[in-house]
Structure 1
Amino acid sequence: MELDNIEKLLEKYFEATTTVAEEETLRAYFSQESVATHLKQYSPLFQYFSKAKEERYTKQVPLKPRKNYYKWLSIAAVAVLSAGIYYGKTIHDRNEATYAYNETKKALSLLAENFGKGTEKMAYLNEFEETKQKIYNEN
């Protein structure tokens, strides 16, 4: 009966449907000296798990405190990004103001040039007025 039960448990074990208690039963069976001959091939598998469970790592692991560089790196990235946005906006505004100043300067120089032409024409008109006054005063 026990052998039949072990074979069923092995089948369930390889289908990955056993419980922890059933696996413990299998480990206990295969750690004995009297294992059925047709099941001896599985004996090293379960004996390995029993031995591996008892293994311990005894060497001391030196633990160094980790430095959190990511925190400082993110702070530096935010600082660089903020400075870039601030100075980029300042330079953009300055370039925009310079562009507006140059365009205004061009427009005013064009206006001054046209006013100069108008003043020249006014000189002719002034001479015409003086001549007209002379003619009217003589009559």
Structure 2
Amino acid sequence: MELYKVETLLEKYFEGETTLNDEQELQDYFASPEVAPHLQQYASLFNHFAVAKVQQFKQEIPAFEISTVENRNKKRNLVWVSIAASVVVLMGIGTYMYYDSEPVTENKDLGTYDDPELAFKATQKALSLLSNNVNVGIESVQYIEEYQIAKNKVFRKEKNKSGGI
């Protein structure tokens, strides 16, 4: 086979545009002893395909058993046991929920105050707690800002040393 034709078929093969006849020609070429040195790398690929065609699966697949009356009865029993187990589990969950639940009492205390002084003190206490937590968060942000400033100073110095801005 001409070298030009083999190279063209290889290009078509790797593009996925070859026919079965083209692929057979490539396999025949690479099976021959006259393979061009620069195409030798593809010989193992096409020789592998030739070997794979010849290989056969020799392990036997066991035949399925014909379902007997005994097997059917076992399956039915298994189904009934599964249903019974499900019912027992559901009854257990229901019993637990029934005896464990506390009676719901209507609580009309919505956190309201009749005395304005008590309401004012409770509001101040809540806002103070909120303020303390916000201040902790702000302190963390200030540390991050200090880190950013220090980082910018370091990197500006390095840029100036290396000829940057």
TM range (shorter): 0.3 to 0.5
TM-score normalised to the size of structure 1? 0.46
Larger proportion of helix: 1
Computing the radius of gyration from Cα coordinates, the structure with the larger value is 1
Which is bigger in relative contact order (C-alpha 8 A, separation at least 6)?
A: 1
